């Protein structure tokens, strides 16, 4: 059995990134991701890497752009307020087809908000990470182990599809400790970075990393080509987990930390004789639409309940995914409040068999 | 025999710049410096947002186009990923001294071993003649139609003077391309800046006083006169910082 | 299944005590989780930490209905007294909590951990004394297993600390109220 380490989620991401060959980390201090930056600052210099605290979130993401353009595996991490500042750079990174990993350890918002865990950056992460027609792959870990595993996968996905990948965690996952192992998974085949700006050495045409296309038809083509890439991602990279959905009457849809609490609520519901199940998206983009839709086609499943730490963001994607074939409800706590299993169970009881 | 030829560090793509614009001269000087030091194979340039955004098409080295003002941060990422490369940014006054001031100052503070070519022509060119952070007091632009008023829009920034106070800045010189003598001095300064980068002793910046006949509303000849009469008195030419020399020799 | 809530002031070693529990739990092959309260409140204000030690995968890492409450100051006790499940356990530092629980459906233990620490030259180890009591009454794990884990997890640079921790742990384990 692989060795287990007791680590905070934030630290697990950092350690997994170093093991995945991340050579540069650029960050800016913000709660509740602090341990990630600190781990990088401490460990990167010892392990042939570099960790640099930038003067701003804006500078940090642009340092990521530069290092990625130079062909390196690179990462940055922050929380919601920092993502807002980084969104300019993220859009340029997408427009330049550069790989990198961006971590958002979510806290309550809007504005300065709070520092307690939240999932209120779902819409931002899946729909509005920057200006222009664009997506990022968004991965949502639900345990410290997944913080590590998905970090490794994020770097591979970024390189394979030449796209930024976001790890969307939250303050609870970042701060909590659980046992984690860093067992090596076989790497996926990675394409050569022949587009990188490494100096042409007199042996090839000069490379240009660029997001500007002044001719509309040319820009349209780059965007359309990128969306073909998104189609591939949607076909090949969807990840999700189902728990007790087979005979369920009501399906809870929840991701990240909320999905764990929901799992407890589902168990408690089953003990009370309510046939509840859980559907947990692991990729938020691409969203597991087809898989949810397949559930909605099942006779026994009557109701969906989206449980989120926000005022109702993912619930709209659930409705779209199943074309409103079945009733879809939302239960959420926001502002940094973590829902309890009891609260979720109360809502299961409320909505099972239709709203009462 | 001296044959006038295109530097290797420039591509065959014709410049798109307006008649009388000095970007073309400075591009050429940068390319000559890269050629002269034999750096082209190993150089990565960062283009700004502004008139010179297409610099990535003109320089024959690997090029990255940065978000507005962020070139020094992008350059930091490139240089830190591989310190053996030569990295330069080419930025205008709006890019470097307004939206990108923080990136500029902090690249200096970190002593990044990069070279910044800073084109100061006192105006936003690409967007059509708006006030720049370096626009002079009284200067009429489309967003200062009554002239720049220090009580309303503040005073123009002197970047070389400001950066010269930062420990990590190894070399800061202001030059001009308004006449042949100054063009030759600019060529020398740019070469010096790249040499400083090879020495790994900190950031080097060359501020080039330049013209924008189109947005100034002047003929190219009148524009160079305007530069001499108005810009040089406010932005004196000279070396503001040179770590390779003793303290006493500095201006 | 044990959901444990540890609460007190910042500086009492609440988070450390929780960490020792999950470390030992992990070594025992159990599923464990540790979730601290975080932010400015950690530096001087109240502080708490949720610990789960379970045979099955942990659902919510946040303990809202503790099987076991370890309270090391009055505000924490008052805040969490009603949350403890019926039949659960409360372990209270009676040197800082001068009242008793009014609940008669829980097993409450009173131990003057802070005073015992001071009297035994173990200033700052009241938290470990509390752990001693917990291992005695909590049916979580074996005395020797936890004690060995505690000793082994002390930094090698400070061998004395391991011994002091064990001493504090024994005081708590052997204390009869």
In chain A, positions 246-305, which contact chain C (CB-CB < 8 Å)?
257, 260-261, 263-265, 267
CB contact under 8 A, A66 and B76: yes
In sequence order, the 6+-apart residues with CB closer than 8 A to the CB of A50 are A23, A24, A25, A44, B80
Per-residue model confidence as pLDDT tens digits over B90-135: 999 999 999 999 999 999 999 999 999 999 999 999 999 999 999 9
The pLDDT assigned to B120 comes to: 98
pLDDT in tens, C95-122: 999 999 999 999 999 999 999 999 999 9
CATH code for the domain in which residue A256 is found? 3.40.50.920
Return the bridge partners of B208, or none. B119, B175
Q: What are phi and psi of A162, to 5 degrees?
A: 45, 60
- The pLDDT tens digits for A234-293 are 999 999 999 999 999 999 999 999 999 999 999 999 999 999 999 999 999 999 999 999
The total number of structural domains in chain C stands at 1
Q: What is the mean pLDDT of residues B218-237?
A: 98
- Interchain contact B/C (3 or more Cβ pairs less than 8 Å): no
**How many residues make up chain B in this entry?**
251
pLDDT level of residue B80 (50, 70, 90 thresholds): very high
CB A80 within 8 A of CB A128: no
Chains in contact with A, where contact means 3 or more Cβ–Cβ distances below 8 Å, are B, C
Answer yes or no: is A296 within a domain.
yes
| All partners of chain B with 3 or more CB pairs under 8 angstroms | A
Contact, A117 vs A310, CB < 8 A?
no
**End position of a domain, from candidates A236, A261, A288:** A236
Q: Which CATH architecture has domain B23-249?
A: 3-Layer(aba) Sandwich (3.40)
My answer on whether A154 and A178 are in the same domain is yes
In this structure, what CATH number is given to the domain that contains residue C155?
Answer: 3.40.920.10
For A7-47, the pLDDT digits (tens) are 999 999 999 999 999 999 999 999 999 999 999 999 999 99
Query: Between B41, B42, B65, which is nearest A209 by CB?
Result: B65
Q: Are C93 and C128 in contact (CB under 8 A)?
A: no
Which chain A residues touch C59 with a CB distance below 8 Å? Answer: 260-261, 263-265, 267, 341
Please check the confidence at residue B251 and state whether its pLDDT lies above 70.
Answer: no
From chain C, the residues in CB contact with A265 under 8 A are 59
Q: Cβ of A175 and C62 within 8 Å?
A: no
- The arithmetic mean of pLDDT across residues A294-307, rounded, is 98
> Looking at the structure, do residues A74 and A208 belong to the same domain, yes or no?
yes
- Tell me what the mean pLDDT of segment B237-243 comes to: 98
Task: Clarify whether residues A280 and A346 are in a common domain.
Answer: yes
Q: How far is the C-alpha of A135 from the C-alpha of C23, rounded, in Å? A: 40
**Inter-chain contact C60–A178, Cβ cutoff 8 Å?**
no
Q: What is the pLDDT of residue A1?
A: 65
CB contacts of A197 in chain B (<8 Å) are 44, 62-64, 78
**Does residue A342 sit at the C interface (CB-CB below 8 Å)?**
yes
Question: Cβ distance A148 to A16 under 8 Å?
Answer: yes
Q: Is residue A356 part of a domain?
A: no
**pLDDT the model gives residue C156:** 82
Mean pLDDT of A320-330: 97
State the pLDDT confidence band at B87, using cuts at 50, 70 and 90.
Answer: very high
Please calculate the CA angle C67-C72-C75 and round it to the nearest 5 degrees: 90
Domain of A274, in residue numbers: 241-351
User: Per the structure, how many domains does chain A have?
Assistant: 2
Subunit contact A257:C19, Cβ cutoff 8 A: no
Q: What is the CATH number of the domain that holds A14?
A: 3.40.50.970
CB of A178 within 8 Å of a chain C CB? The answer is: yes
Kindly tell me if the per-residue pLDDT of B36 is higher than 60: yes
Confidence of residue A356 (pLDDT cuts 50, 70, 90): low
Domain extent at residue C93: 2-174
In this complex, do A177 and C39 lie within 8 Å of one another by their Cβ atoms? no
Asked if A223 and A283 sit in the same domain, the reply is: no
Is the pLDDT at B1 greater than 90? The verdict is: no
B60: contact with A, CB 8 A cutoff: yes
CB spacing of B64 vs A209 below 8 angstroms: yes
Extended beta strands in chain A, E state: 5-8, 24-27, 50-53, 74-78, 100-106, 137-139, 164-170, 177-180, 208-209, 240-243, 250-253, 276-281, 283-285, 303-308, 327-332
Domain boundaries, chain B: 23-249
Per-residue pLDDT tens over the stretch A152-192: 999 999 999 999 999 999 999 999 999 999 998 887 999 99
Residue C152 has pLDDT above 80, yes or no: yes
Residue A133 covered by a domain = yes
Closest-CA distance of chain C to residue A218, Å: 49
C35–A263 C-beta distance less than 8 A: no
List the 64-103 stretch of B: residues with Cβ below 8 A of A: 64-67, 70, 73-82, 85, 102-103
User: Would you say residue C46 has pLDDT above 90?
Assistant: no
Looking at residue C158, its pLDDT comes to 85
Average pLDDT for residues B44-62, to the nearest whole number? 97
Euclidean distance between CA atoms A161 and A236, whole angstroms: 11
Same domain, A310 and A207: no
Give the tokens for residue C169.
């742990």
Give percent of chain C with pLDDT exceeding 70.
Answer: 96
* pLDDT over threshold 70, residue B250: no
Contact B208/A at CB under 8 A: no
Q: Tell me the pLDDT tens digit for each residue of A70-125.
A: 999 999 999 999 999 999 999 999 999 999 999 999 999 999 999 999 999 999 99
- Is the pLDDT score of B179 beyond 60? yes
What average pLDDT is seen over chain A?
97
């Amino acid at each position: 059995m692989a060795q287990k380490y007791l680590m905070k989620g934030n630290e697990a991401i950092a350690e997994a990134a170093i093991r995945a060959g991340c050579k540069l980390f650029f960050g800016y201090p913000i709660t509740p991701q602090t341990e990630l930056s600190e781990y990088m600052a401490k460990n990167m210099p010892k392990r042939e890497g570099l960790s640099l605290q930038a003067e701003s979130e804006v500078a940090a993401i642009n340092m990521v752009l530069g290092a990625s353009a130079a062909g390196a595996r690179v990462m940055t991490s922050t929380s919601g307020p920092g993502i807002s500042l980084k969104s300019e750079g993220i859009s340029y990174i997408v427009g330049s087809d550069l790989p990198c990993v961006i971590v958002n350890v979510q806290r309550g918002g809007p504005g300065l908000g709070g520092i307690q865990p939240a999932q209120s950056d779902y819409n931002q992460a899946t729909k509005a990470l920057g200006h222009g027609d664009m997506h990022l792959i968004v991965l949502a870990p639900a345990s410290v182990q997944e913080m590590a595993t998905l970090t490794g996968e994020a770097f591979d996905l970024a390189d394979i599809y030449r796209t930024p990948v976001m790890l969307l965690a939250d303050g609870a996952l970042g701060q909590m400790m659980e046992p984690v192992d860093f067992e090596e998974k076989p790497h996926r085949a990675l394409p050569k970075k022949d587009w990188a700006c490494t100096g042409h050495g007199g042996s090839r045409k000069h490379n240009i990393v660029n997001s500007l296309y002044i001719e509309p038809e040319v820009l349209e083509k780059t965007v359309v080509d990128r969306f073909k890439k998104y189609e591939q991602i949607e076909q090949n990279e969807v990840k999700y987990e189902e728990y007790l959905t087979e005979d369920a009457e009501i399906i809870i849809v929840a991701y990240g930390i909320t999905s764990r609490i929901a799992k407890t609520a589902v168990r408690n519901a089953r003990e009370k004789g309510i046939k509840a199940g859980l559907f947990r998206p692991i990729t938020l983009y691409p969203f597991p639409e087809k898989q949810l839709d397949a559930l909605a086609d099942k006779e026994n499943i009557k109701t969906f309940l989206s449980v989120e730490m926000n005022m109702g963001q993912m619930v709209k994607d659930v409705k779209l995914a199943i074309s409103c074939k079945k009733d879809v409800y939302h239960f959420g706590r926001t502002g940094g409040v973590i829902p309890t299993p009891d609260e979720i169970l109360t809502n299961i009881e409320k909505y099972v068999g239709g709203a009462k | 025999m001296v044959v006038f030829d295109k530097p290797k560090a420039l591509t065959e793509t014709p410049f798109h710049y307006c008649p009388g614009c000095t970007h073309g001269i400075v591009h050429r000087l940068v390319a000559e410096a890269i050629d002269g030091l034999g750096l082209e194979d190993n150089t990565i340039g960062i283009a700004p947002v502004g008139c010179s955004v297409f610099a990535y098409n003109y320089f024959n080295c690997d090029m990255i186009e940065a978000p507005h003002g962020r070139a020094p941060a992008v350059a930091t990422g490139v240089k830190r990923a591989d310190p053996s490369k030569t990295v330069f940014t080419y930025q205008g006054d709006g890019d470097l001294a307004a939206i990108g001031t923080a990136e500029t100052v902090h690249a200096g503070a970190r002593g990044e071993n990069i070279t910044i070519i800073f084109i100061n022509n006192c105006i936003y060119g690409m967007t059509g003649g708006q006030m720049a952070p370096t626009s002079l007091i009284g200067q009429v632009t489309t967003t200062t139609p009554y002239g720049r008023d220090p009580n309303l829009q503040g005073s123009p920034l002197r970047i070389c003077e400001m950066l010269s106070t930062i420990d990590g800045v190894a070399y800061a010189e202001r030059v001009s391309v308004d006449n042949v003598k100054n063009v030759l001095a600019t060529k020398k300064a740019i070469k010096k800046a790249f040499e400083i980068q090879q020495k790994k002793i900190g950031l080097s910046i060359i501020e080039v006083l330049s013209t924008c006949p189109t947005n100034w509303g002047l003929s190219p000849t009148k524009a160079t006169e305007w530069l001499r009469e108005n810009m040089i008195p406010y932005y004196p030419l000279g070396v503001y910082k040179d770590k390779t020399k003793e303290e006493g020799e500095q201006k | 299944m044990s959901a444990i809530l540890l609460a007190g002031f910042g500086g009492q070693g609440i988070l450390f005590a929780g960490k020792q529990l999950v470390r030992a739990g992990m070594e025992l092959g159990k599923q464990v989780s540790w979730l601290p309260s975080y932010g400015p409140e950690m530096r001087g204000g109240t502080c708490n930490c949720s610990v789960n030690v379970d045979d099955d995968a942990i659902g919510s890492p946040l303990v809202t209905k503790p099987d076991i409450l370890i309270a090391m100051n009055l505000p924490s006790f008052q805040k969490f007294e009603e949350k403890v499940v019926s039949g659960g356990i409360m372990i209270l530092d009676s040197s800082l909590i001068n009242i008793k629980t009014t609940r008669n459906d829980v097993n409450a233990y009173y131990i003057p951990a802070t005073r015992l620490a001071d009297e035994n030259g173990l200033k700052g180890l009241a938290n470990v004394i509390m752990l001693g009591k917990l291992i005695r009454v909590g049916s979580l794990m074996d005395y020797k297993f936890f004690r060995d884990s505690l000793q082994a997890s002390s930094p090698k640079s400070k061998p004395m600390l391991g011994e002091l921790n064990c001493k504090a742990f024994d005081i708590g384990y052997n204390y009869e109220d």
